[in-house]
């Protein structure tokens, strides 16, 4: 049974991985904690459900939802980071939080505030390996999550685009002087981050067969926790943190009960912050003494 819980934890963690990496792209490159990411997660799932309910085939609904999230990401970039990047640091953050509330309430108007059943798209099949049961939808989610984050990591580390992104992460002004088109790269970062979050929302809907306008809030907080545990700014740290949160959550339910899940998960974050403030793979921050 413990082996099965390990499998379940990894499957759940794969959702947290995508959200954590999405947040990591934002704060690691732009030094901007984008609080609209939980809303983009929600839009991926809810818009897909709305379009399926309207009669569209699910592949069309998924593609359309991803395109809508791309457009929403560009709106967030335009009215938070671009217009307010020279203001006090908390202003863009609060603005992105405003978009979270805006998108949630827009979906309340369109879909209602109640939790809605999502149709079962992926056939209900299971694989049994060595006594362990692997759900088909869960396996697809885990594989797709890992493929996406490995692809993102490769692009950032090995491509010309990745070198430009890393230059922006070091210093935006210097990158601009060196010829990097910051005005074009930054929106692409927002789109990439938004798409990762939207894919996570769609996979969540496919796996757990439910959506709601507020489905992104708890997932978003767990994604932030995963990012902090792994190390802010580290893609691989986000992967480790997301999988670890999933494992801790599942084993907490198994051994103690669902009522104690949040206490244990966020207690783990608190303990790690005390013992290793930079996270598992983060670099220590050198600060000048006053």
Report residue 145's pLDDT band, with 50, 70 and 90 as the boundaries. confident
> What is the Cα–Cα distance from 14 to 154, expressed in whole angstroms?
18
String of b and e for 102-138 (b: at least 16 CB within 10 Å)? Answer: ebbeebeeebeeeebebeebbeeeeeeeeeeebbebb
pLDDT score recorded for residue 108: 95
Give the residue-averaged pLDDT of 89-116: 89
**pLDDT higher than 50, residue 289:** no
Instruction: Transcribe 92-125 into DSSP letters.
Output: HHHHHHHHHHHHHHHHHHHH-SS-EEPP--S---
C-alpha dist (Å) from residue 206 to 42, 103, 122, 223: 13, 21, 7, 19
- Mean pLDDT value across residues 265-277: 87
Residue 287: pLDDT over 70: no
- Give me 9's structure tokens: 């934890």
Q: What is the spatial distance between Cα 34 and Cα 101, in angstroms, rounded to a whole number? A: 13
pLDDT band at 125 (very low <50, low <70, confident <90, very high): low
Q: What is the model's pLDDT at position 118? A: 94
Domains of the chain in start order, with CATH, are 2-113+130-275 (1.10.3470)
Strand partners, 129: 132
pLDDT of residue 290: 34
pLDDT in tens, 15-50: 999 999 999 888 888 888 899 999 999 999 999 999
- Helix or strand (DSSP H, E) at 116: strand 116-117
Kindly give the interhelix angle for 37-53 and 2-30, rounded to the nearest 10 degrees: 120
Model pTM above 0.95? no
Whether 227 contacts 238, CB under 8 Å: yes
Q: How far from each other are the two terminal CA atoms of the chain, in whole angstroms? A: 54
Confidence of residue 3 (pLDDT cuts 50, 70, 90): confident
| Cα separation, 190 vs 15, whole angstroms | 19
Distance CA 151, CA 158 (A): 10
Contact in structure between 61 and 48 (CB atoms under 8 Å): yes
Cβ atoms 41, 198 nearer than 8 A: yes
Per-residue pLDDT tens over the stretch 177-203 = 888 888 889 999 999 999 999 999 999
The DSSP result for 209-230, as a single string, is: -EE-TTHHHHHHHHHHHHHHHH
- Greater pLDDT, 84 or 24: 24
**Average pLDDT score, the chain:** 87
């Amino acid at each position: 049974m413990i082996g099965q819980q390990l499998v379940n934890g990894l499957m759940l963690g794969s959702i947290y991985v995508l959200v954590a990496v999405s947040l990591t792209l934002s704060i690691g490159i732009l030094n901007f904690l984008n609080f609209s990411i939980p809303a983009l997660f929600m839009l991926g799932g809810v818009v897909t459900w709305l379009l399926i309910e309207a009669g569209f085939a699910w592949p069309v609904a998924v593609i359309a939802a991803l395109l809508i999230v791309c457009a929403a990401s560009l709106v967030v970039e335009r009215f938070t980071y671009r217009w307010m990047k020279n203001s006090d640091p908390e202003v863009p953050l609060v603005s992105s939080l405003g978009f979270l509330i805006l998108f949630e309430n827009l979906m309340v108007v369109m879909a209602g505030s109640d939790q809605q059943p999502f149709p079962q798209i992926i056939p209900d099949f299971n694989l049994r390996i060595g006594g362990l049961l692997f759900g088909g939808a869960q396996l697809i989610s885990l594989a797709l999550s890992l493929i996406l984050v490995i692809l993102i990591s490769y692009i950032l580390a090995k491509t010309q685009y990745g070198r430009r992104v890393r230059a922006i992460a070091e210093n935006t002004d210097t990158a601009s002087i060196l010829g990097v088109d910051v005005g074009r790269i930054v929106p692409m970062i927002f789109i990439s981050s938004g798409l990762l979050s939207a894919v996570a929302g769609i996979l969540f809907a496919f796996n757990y067969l439910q959506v709601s306008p507020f489905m992104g809030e708890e997932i978003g907080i767990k994604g932030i926790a995963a990012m902090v545990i792994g190390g802010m700014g580290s893609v691989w740290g986000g992967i480790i943190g997301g999988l670890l949160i999933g494992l801790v959550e599942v084993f907490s339910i198994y051994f103690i009960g669902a009522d104690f899940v949040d206490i244990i998960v966020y207690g783990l974050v608190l303990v790690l912050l005390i013992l290793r403030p930079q996270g598992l793979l983060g670099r220590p921050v050198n600060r000048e003494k006053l």
